[in-house]
Structure 1
Amino acid sequence: MPILPLPSLLLLFFLLPFHVISQSTTTQNDQNILLKIKSFWSNPPSLNHWNQSSDPCSWPEITCTGTNITGITVVDQDISGTVPPFICDLKNLTVLDLNYNDITGNFPAALYNCTNLRYLDLSQNYFVGKIPDDISRLSPELRYLSLFGNNFSGDIPASISRLSKLSSLQLHQTLLNGSFPQEIGYLNDLEELNLSFNKFTPSRLPPSFTQLKRLRKFYMTEANLIGEIPGNFSGMPAMEILDLSFNRLNGSIPRDLFLLKNLTQVYLYENNLTGEIPDSIQALNLKIIDLSANKLTGEIPEGFGNLASLTNLTLMYNQLSGEIPTSIGRLPSLNDIRIFANKLSGELPPDFGRYSVLKIFEVNQNQFTGNLPENLCYSGKLIGLIVFSNNLSGEIPNSLETCGSLRVLQVYDNRFSGKIPDGLWKVSSLDKMMMSDNSFSGELPSELAPKLSILEISNNKFSGEITTGVSSWTNMRVFKGSNNLFTGEIPQGLTSLPNLATLLLDGNQLSGQLPATILSWNSLNTLNLSKNQLTGQIPAGLGFLKVLSVLDLSRNNLSGQIPAQLGRQLVSLDLSGNKLAGAIPAQLDNGAFDKSFQGNPGLCSNNPVLGLNSCSSRPQTEQSRKISGKSVAIIGSIAAILMLLAVIMTGYVIVLYRRRKHGFNSNWKFTSFQKLTFTESTILPRLNDNHMIGQGGSGKVYRIPVNRSGDVVAVKKISTRKDLDLRLEKEFLAEVEILSMIRHSNIVKLMGHISCDNSKLLVYEYLENRSLDRWLHRKQSPPNRGLTGSVRHVVLDWPKRLHIALGAARGLSYMHHDCCPAVIHRDVKSSNVLLDGEFNAKIADFGLAKILAKGSELTAVSTVAGSFGYMAPEYGQTLKVNEKIDVYSFGVILLELTTGKEANDGNEHSSLAEWALQYALGGDPIEDVLDKDVREPMYMNEMSSVFKLGLWCTSRLPANRPSMMEVCQMLLRCGPAMVVGTRKSGQDVVDHLPLLKLENV
């Protein structure tokens, strides 16, 4: 090693200390700045390790280059306040990541002084205001900019295009409601662009965007795009992912889109696209194609059969026709195909499942013919086989006997025949087996799949006796076996199924007596045994089933009297065509059941509406027959006087009947909103206690039969108390105005209203299953104790709860997003969610609803009105509201559905929403708080997802809550993968819900 000369050694001796001192000083200065930042943020506990005694370069949030601090990454650390104005005193700062905190204020202009900044992430905080027009003053070296999940509003400034080195721009899920500039298309280095889930003014996609040569990932989901998709995708050779779903795009799919060779994922679902799918395909790396819910026509391109990497093909809800290309059945990676609700025909390719790990196969609601492919479960991973409403024939493949993964089998409404493979009945994971409306034959097995909850086999040729082994079907909720060839008696074990809610065995050849003892029908809601050969008496035990609301035993050979206990909860009853005798029980002796007893000559009633023989008086005693002549004369005189008074007072009696007996005057006006077969004269005489089904703060609700066909309506009579007149008049007018204006399958239908000077009647469609809260919180049902002494409550199973949640969400989404102007309900709660016979949810009670003045702007209300536990925090603090108060209330319903608790059932100091948030923050497993009556391993992910969605909806800040449109999307994805229309499993939603930090809600 050479020896340095003395002058050089001296120079090194003098320079070295100064060099070391200089580095040490720089580090100390940066450390002081960091400690000042910590102090500015009020010394959060998560940064306690930031102190003078340790090296900042050892702190996990700090990145150093040499001795210079170049990066701060403080993510999810409970940071509140604003961005320190002196943060750019760290002159070498290149990375600043403050993602997922509670930082507030406008966009921090202090960051303009960070001249070396390359990476800036301020996402998922509480920034407000506009993105500044001079945002281009940020470092010209900036590569990554993420502002998503904040409360920015207004436009995206055109100056953002001057940040010419940007490679990633993340502006999704904010409150941006202005425009986005076409100049973004000039960012030549841009690789990722996400503008999804904003409320931009209706805008066309700028052609300049299709010239981003380096863009790999492009997301504009639900960004209010209109018009056609620009062509010339050849200018985007690097494109890998394109998501333009949930917009209002029309026209055809550009022919050059599938020519992009790097393309792997395409999402264009929920638009108004028309025309054919382009058949020129060179993007052979495509993994996911989702073109569902458009208006596409023509055939599925043959070229799809060349996509060896394709895993998901989703084309549902279009108007596609022709056959499925045979080559698609041989795709080696395909695991999810959903092409239902089209006009496809021909035979299904026989190789489906033979060469790939097929999991979801949904081809229902088409015109397919021929047999089911034999190898659908060849890999043993098939979860959902859904082929209903086609013209398929032949037998069910024997290979499904060993398909241990199968959860849902829906083959109803086809032309299948033969016997069901023995092993298929017993597949361990099977939950739903729906095979109605075919020509299946054979007998029911004594053993079924242990998890099977729905068995629908109506309108087939099943025969034999219902096995005594039915008592082992403990998870069964729905058993529909109508119109088959079953014989023998109804086994006692059938009444021991504790979860059974619907039992339909009508139209068979069952005989013998009904089981005398009802063991465990605690959940039974609907029982139909009509059109059989049953004999004996109606068991009195049916009268003690508190949930039973529909009972049909008609057209049998039943005899004896109708049990006096029957009718406490019934809303539909048919005992016609039997041999029953005796008097109608008092609870059933009213016009609501005017057709329930026909064809029973031995029955009698003193109510002429029922059309039965009058019940005779009891035989007179010997003493009563010894009436003296004097008594006869006195009685005769009294009778004559009464007759004279009757003649004189006839007019007065009529008025008294009209005005006092029913509490109305005669000046009625009936306004209908559709063609009706009844008038006010049908309604008014029946407004009595025999028809009353409920009572609330606004008045009474009645169930009124309106014709001989059995049609009924619900009538709400507005109270006439003087102290409520003004408020109730406003509620009446609000409900009439709104419900006469809007129409949706998930909003209760207002058929008309009847009014006079001092009374108001609202006439609605009648919904058999009443309100959701009656099912979730049925307090009137007495406990039913089993051997262990535990209390079993009446419950809705989880799939039905999820179905109800989605229906109610769709109703609210229609009000918020599709009505013009938008409507806010202001009193969303489980008692205002009504359920029809199929448990379809409908939003009701619009007395407090408000029409928004302009879109989603805040609307002033004169008073705060609502229900405790459901009211959003800001509603009690301001008289200006928007649709986010409905979102909060709906979130409470989601928490009710998942936990089983009531809205005001948190603890002695909090509501359900507050309690749920504190529980989640405590870190305990969410599974522990889910309703134990419905949580099962197969539903845990879904329930957890909906619980988290409930927390998101009940965020303290309105801006942090999702829209009801987003809620609908999330609920669709929360269901199991085979639910029609879903795209993600429940676990996917758990992973993707924007609830990475629960405190932010």
Structure 2
Amino acid sequence: MSILPLPFHFLLLFLLPFHVISQSTIQNDQNTLLNLKSFWSNPPPLNHWNQSSNPCSWPEITCTGTNITGVTIYNQDITGTLPPFICDLKNLIHLDLNYNYITGNFPTELYNCTNLRYLDLSQNSFVGKIPEDISRLSPELQYLSLFGNNFSGDIPISISKLSKLTSLQLHQNLFNGTFPQEIGYLNDLEELNLSFNKFTPSRLPESFTQLKWLQNFHMTEANLVGEIPRNFSGMPAMKLLDLSFNRLNGSIPNDLFLLKNLTEVYLYKNNLTGEIPDSIEALNMEIIDLSENKLTGKVPGGFGNLKQLTNLTLMFNQLSGEIPASIGRLPNLRDIRIFTNNFSGQLPPDFGRYSELAIFDVSKNQFTGNIPENLCYSTKLIGLVVYTNNLSGNIPKSLETCSSLRNLQLYDNQFSGEIPNGLWNVSSLENMMVSDNSFSGELPPEMAPNLSILEISNNKFSGEIPTGVSSWTNLRVFKGSNNLFSGGIPQNLTSLPNLETLLLDGNQLSGELPATIVSWNSLNTLNLSRNQLTGQIPAGLGFLKVLSVLDLSRNNLSGQIPELGRQLVSLDLSGNNLAGNIPAQLDNGAFEGSFRDNPGLCSNNPLLGLNSCSPRSQTTRSSKISSKSVAIIASIAAILFVLAVITTGYVIALYRRRKHDFNSNWKFTSFQKLTFTESTILPCLNDNHLIGQGGSGKVYKIPVNRSGDVVAVKKISIKKDIDLRLEKEFLAEVKTLSTIRHLNIVKLMGHISCDDSRLLVYEYLENRSLDRWLHRKQAPTSRGLTGSVRHVVLDWPKRLHIALGAARGLSYMHHDCCPAVVHRDVKSSNVLLDSAFNAKIADFGLAKILEKGNDFTMSTVAGSFGYMAPEYAHTTKVNEKIDVYSFGVILLELTTGKEVNDGNGHSSLAEWAIQHALGGEPIEDVLDNDVKKPVYLKEMTSVFKLGLWCTSRLPTNRPSMKEVCQMLQRCGPAVAVGTRKNGGDVVDHLPLLKLENV
């Protein structure tokens, strides 16, 4: 046994107290953490926190030696408040509780964490004001993030006393007061983000120019008003300046680009005027975004010296002149977007020759000359967009080998010659839009395998439609109007399963239409007018489930019209040689003008303006009845007569009893042939048949025969001389629905009225309203309505189908009814679903017929909170765009699964959605997890963006419902998106979505 030297025994005696103290500290910290877990009701993600394990082994805990110095509990669904004993962790330096559900006011308990350097409480549910004494936080604090909460009021002056702050993140709150200019005296501050708040309008404080080390500066949509500070000399180390979305005016300061360390400038979406400064010393500049202002003048020649520049974005200004040739030789330029200006002259020929150019968008200018030959020299070019200029000549042959090209838009120029053969077959090409030029040549037998949109209208293409068209399997849109195509329409053209729009009008096509339609299951729009087609209209067109627009006018078609009217919104068969009766489903005023200049057609509906069909021209069974049949019928009639006599007394008694019970003044007005009367409806208006109740009445589900057929009846009670509003709602609903016939609008079968009540009789839709399915409000099961609350989640294909159906209904009301109809109360509870989840717009109690082309002002505002367009709530101005806004909210409900007033601290779902999109967060983060799958992400993202566009604050920026229908039909592959720093997604301004207008 060895004996330790005496000095070592003394060393043990010396170290033992420190060991005991260390063990005691770790034990105390462990107890504090376990108390924290218990305070938060033992959340499952912290189950591994227990007495038997070392806290330093827990993934949420950071230790320095044996001291607990860091706690990071991110995205663990923590609820409740922050406990007062959190600072019992005496050595705590780093506290990150980001992305939970912690509530309460700002936790002043943190003042006791005297060593704290990093504090992140962002994306929680804190409320109230930031306390005036927030400077009592640790004087060592360097990082403070409170963004994504519900803090309001002012930002206190004392925050500027946290002198060691390098990063201050206060964006995405509800601040509605002021922020102190003293923030500008935080000498070490590198990042400042105050964006997405609603501060009291003010100018940008001059003191902010003293932030010498500032690298990141964000005041996006902080509601500032005023000019950019003149003096930037106080910020020599600044690398990133972001003052976008701030309603700034005036000109760009001349010394902005003199900051030699500046690498990124974002000033987009303001009201800046004047010219771009031409004094440039920031030679390390990588990104310049001055878009969506009112800038004038030329692009500075000094931009051609920015060898590190990767992104130049100047779109939506009033800039003019030629583009400096030196910009085309920048070695790192990847993305140039200068569309919608007044630029002229020729495009610099070296674009793409010296850099890996990916996006080249110069559309909507006045450029002349040719497309630069070397745009795809590096084979990195994704988008070539030059439409609406005065460009001419041929397409560069170099594009034949541009294997990266996905989006080609050359339309509305003066190009000529033939499309290079190889360009038709570029494997990555998705969109080819070359309409309105002078291109010639024939279509190739094979196309790019991924081609989705082919628009070649208004050119000089000739020859036949190739039989190899069957290989164009991904094609969704084919627009070839007004060319010189000849020959017949090949049978193979009908085998394209994804084709939605086919326009071949204004050509020289001849022969008969294909008798058999193979796979046009997605076809929505078909226009073959102004050709030389002969023969009969194929009966197969009547079986296309989604066909809504059909134009076969001005051909030589003959024979009878087949059954066509499944979902037709627009029909034109005029100028042919058709004959016979108009089919019953088309024989109504909705198709007025659809059959003119067909002398052989007839109809007994005077609205169609055709010859009357004489009884002799109709084939009836009566002319073929044999004498034996007459005898049988006579015998049956005699028997029925006897039975009638026997039951007369019973019928009279029953009638008198019902007359006594229900008041004999009920009047039933039907809008179609029905097999029931008011005597079937009235006895069932009781709670046993009640299925819903709204602001203007109750809704009943009532059986009308032994076969199980049911109707929905809405009862509106009228109090004489008091409830005039309800009477007006009833008359509006009847007037509107009695004139509308469309597959996506609920059918009003009739109405029943007496002195004090009104009944509307609708078709019954088995799956009830959309909101019940989206928001778990006792949605029907797959077997129909039950008393249970078993919720069946609508998958994404059904949601997209519902969105498109509802859009078609509204589009018909806005664009095809004369005068147009505005619903005024579009919401998910007014979108009804039949057994196949076909959507139908319902509840027109607030509808109003508009005189075509005129707006009008309502005396009162009607509608539902969260769905009402902003201008409607303030001005009561009514036009179709208020319905577009409401429909946009429904799209946001379909994609996110959120309810309309679930705005996460914002006033509504629409407001929350646009704040999220502009905040730069991934859109897929907000999509409904119940249906979000990788295969659907692209479509869901596109529909979400469409919802944002529909809910644009300015009515003029919203699309029409006709455009919405078109976008929904091609929502997936037609969107090309580029991400903008701190600005959300900016669409590459394809015609599909225009988020720049939101």
TM-score, with normalisation over the residues of structure 2?
A: 0.69
Matched, 1:927 2:922: no
Match of residue 763 from structure 2:
none
Aligned residue number for residue 503 of structure 1: 502
Q: How does 1:101-180 map to 2 (within 5 A)?
A: 101-180=100-179
**Aligned twin of 1:377:** 376
Q: 1:428-447 maps to which residues of 2 (within 5 A)?
A: 428-447=427-446
Q: Distance in 1 between matches of 2:370 and 2:804?
A: 35
Q: CA deviation at 1:372?
A: 0.6
Task: Supply the AA of the counterpart residue of 1:439.
Answer: S
Q: How far is 1:276 from its partner?
A: 1.0
CA distance in 1, matches of 2:571, 2:528: 12
In the alignment, structure 1 residue 590 sits paired with structure 2 residue 588: yes
Q: In the alignment, is residue 493 of structure 1 matched against residue 517 of structure 2? A: no
* Partner Cα distance (2:511, 2:476) in 1: 25
Q: Match of 2:141, SS?
A: coil
Give the structure 2 partner of residue 17 of structure 1: 16
Cα deviation per residue 1:603-647 (whole Å; 9 max; x = unaligned)? Answer: 3333444333343441899x99xxxxxxxxxxxxxxxxxxxxxxx
**Whole-angstrom CA distance in 1 between matches of 2:183 and 2:978:** 33
Write the distance in 1 (CA, Å) between the matches of 2:608 and 2:63: 89
SS in 2 for 1:493: helix
Q: How many aligned positions are there?
A: 777
Counterpart of 2:613 in structure 1 is: 615
Determine if the alignment matches structure 1 residue 280 to structure 2 residue 256: no
What is the DSSP-based 3-state SS (H/G/I as helix, E as strand, rest coil) of the residue aligned with 1:29? helix
1:168 deviation in Å?
0.9
Which residue identity lines up with residue 199 of structure 1 in the other structure?
A: K
Look up the match of 1:344. 343
Q: Is the aligned partner of 1:566 residue 2:561?
A: no
Is contact 2:866–2:901 with CA below 8 Å preserved after alignment?
no
Q: Which whole-Å deviations, capped at 9, do the CAs of 1:292-322 have from their partners, x for residues lacking one?
A: 1111111111111111111111111111111
Q: What is the CA distance between 1:568 and its match in structure 2?
A: 3.7
Matches within 5 A, 1:779-818: none
Contact persistence 1:247–1:270 (CA under 8 A)? yes
CA distance in 2, matches of 1:547, 1:854: 30
- Aligned mates of 1:231, 1:927 — CA distance in 2: 50
- Greater CA deviation, 264-273 or 869-878? 869-878
Map 1:766-915 → 2, pairs under 5 A: 847-850=862-865, 883-884=907-908
The structural deviation recorded for 1:885 is 5.2
With normalisation by structure 1, the TM-score equals: 0.68
Checking the alignment, whether the CA contact within 8 Å between 1:523 and 1:794 is kept in structure 2 is no
Residue type of the alignment partner of 2:128:
G
Q: Give the match for residue 478 of structure 1.
A: 477
Q: 1:59 to 1:758 in 2, by over 3 A?
A: same
Checking the alignment, whether the CA contact within 8 Å between 1:720 and 1:758 is kept in structure 2 is: no
Give the structure 1 partner of residue 412 of structure 2: 413
> Does structure 2 conserve the Cα–Cα contact (< 8 Å) formed by 1:33 and 1:90?
yes
Deviation digits for residues 839-867 of structure 1, max 9, x if unmatched?
xxx9xx984235999999x99xxxxxx99
Secondary structure in structure 2 of the residue aligned to 1:203: coil
* 1:321/1:345 contact within 8 Å kept: yes
Q: Give the equivalent residue in structure 2 for 1:722.
A: 717
In the TM superposition, what are the counterparts of 1:272-351 in structure 2 within 5 Å?
Answer: 272-351=271-350
Q: Residues of 1 paired with 2:234 and 2:347: CA distance?
A: 38
Amino acid aligned to 2:149: N
Preserved contact between residue 735 and residue 847 of structure 1 (Cα < 8 Å): no
The structural deviation recorded for 1:663 is 10
> What's the secondary structure of 1:286's corresponding residue?
coil
* Paired residues of 2:241 and 2:265 also in contact (CA < 8 A): yes
Separation of aligned partners in 2, 1:164 and 1:455: 60
Structure 1 residue 459: Cα displacement: 0.5
Structure 2 partner of 1:63: 62
Q: Distance in 2 between matches of 1:324 and 1:613?
A: 64
Contact 1:562 1:581 (C-alpha < 8 Å) held by counterparts: yes
Cα distance, 1:484 vs structure 2: 0.5
Q: Which residue pairs with 1:684 in the alignment?
A: none
- Assess if the C-alpha contact under 8 Å between 1:62 and 1:69 holds in 2: yes
**Counterparts of 1:408 and 1:142 in 2: how far apart (Å)?**
49
Q: 1:131 to 1:536 in 2, by over 3 A?
A: same
Q: Residue 85 of structure 1 aligns with which residue?
A: 84
Q: After TM superposition, give the deviation of residue 801 of structure 1 in Å.
A: 8.1
Whether the aligned pair in 1 keeps the contact of 2:901 and 2:907 (CA below 8 Å) is: no
Q: 1:731 to 1:518 in 2, by over 3 A?
A: farther
Write out aligned runs for 1:687-698 (5 A): none
Shift of 1:976: 9.6
Report what 2:207 is aligned to.
208
* CA displacement, residues 665-712 of structure 1 (integer Å, 9 cap, x when unaligned): xxxxxxxxxxxxxxxxxxxxxx9669xxxxx9999xxxxxxxxxxxxx
Question: In 2, distance between residues paired with 1:803 and 1:240?
Answer: 49
Residue 978 of structure 1 deviates from its aligned partner by 9.3
Q: Which amino acid aligns with 2:87?
A: C
One-letter identity of the residue aligned with 1:136: S
Q: CA deviation at 1:390?
A: 0.7
Indicate the residue corresponding to 1:994 in structure 2.
none
Aligned partner of residue 193 in structure 1, secondary structure? strand
Q: Provide the identity percentage.
A: 66
Are the structure 2 counterparts of residues 10 and 384 from structure 1 closer, same or farther at C-alpha, using a change threshold of 3 Å?
closer
CA distance in structure 1 between the aligned counterparts of 2:542 and 2:459, rounded to whole angstroms: 31
Q: CA deviation at 1:35?
A: 3.1
Matches within 5 A, 1:638-717: none
Q: Deviations over 1:104-147 (max 9, x none)?
A: 22111111111222211111222221111110111112111111
User: Could you give the per-residue CA deviations for residues 764-792 of structure 1, whole angstroms, max 9, x where no partner exists?
Assistant: xxxxxxxx999x99x9xxxxxxxxxxxxx
Measured against aligned partners, the alpha-carbon deviations of 1:925-949 in whole angstroms (never above 9, x if no partner) come to x435x5xxxx5xxxx5x34656999
SS of 2:933 mapped into structure 1: helix
User: Which string of whole-angstrom CA distances, capped at 9 and with x for unpartnered residues, describes residues 80-99 of structure 1?
Assistant: 32222122223222222222
| Residues 906 and 912, structure 2, Cα contact 8 Å, conserved in 1 | no
Q: Is the 8 A contact 2:201 2:225 kept in 1?
A: yes
Which stretches in structure 1 are left out of the alignment for 5+ residues?
625-659, 665-686, 691-695, 700-717, 737-756, 760-771, 780-792, 812-822, 835-841, 860-865, 892-897, 900-912, 921-925, 954-961, 991-1001
| 1:311-335 Cα deviation digits (max 9, x unpaired) | 1111111111111111111111111
| Residues in 2 aligned to 1:559 and 1:502: alpha-carbon distance in whole angstroms | 24
Cα deviation, residue 58, structure 1: 3.6
Cα offset, 1:382, TM superposition: 1.2
| SS of equivalent residue, structure 1 residue 235 | coil
* Distance in 2, Cα, partners of 1:100 & 1:19: 38
One-letter amino acid matched to 2:933: E
SS at match of 1:580: strand
Deviations along 1:488-527, whole A, 9 cap, x unmatched?
0111111111221111111111111111112222222211
Q: 1:246 to 1:981 in 2, by over 3 A?
A: farther
**Which secondary structure does the structure 2 equivalent of 1:15 belong to?**
helix
Residue type of the alignment partner of 1:268: L
* 1:450 Cα offset (Å): 1.2
Deviation, 1:364, is 0.8
CA distance 1:502–1:978, change in 2 (3 Å): closer
1:252 aligns with 2:258: no
Q: SS of the counterpart of 1:233?
A: coil
Q: 8 Å contact 1:480–1:503 — kept in the other structure? A: yes
Aligned equivalents of 2:219, 2:213: Cα separation in 1:
17
Q: Deviations over 1:382-423 (max 9, x none)?
A: 111111111111111111111111111111111001110111
Report if the CA contact (8 A) 1:490-1:514 is conserved: yes
In the alignment, is residue 221 of structure 1 matched against residue 217 of structure 2? no
Q: Is the 8 A contact 2:827 2:867 kept in 1?
A: no
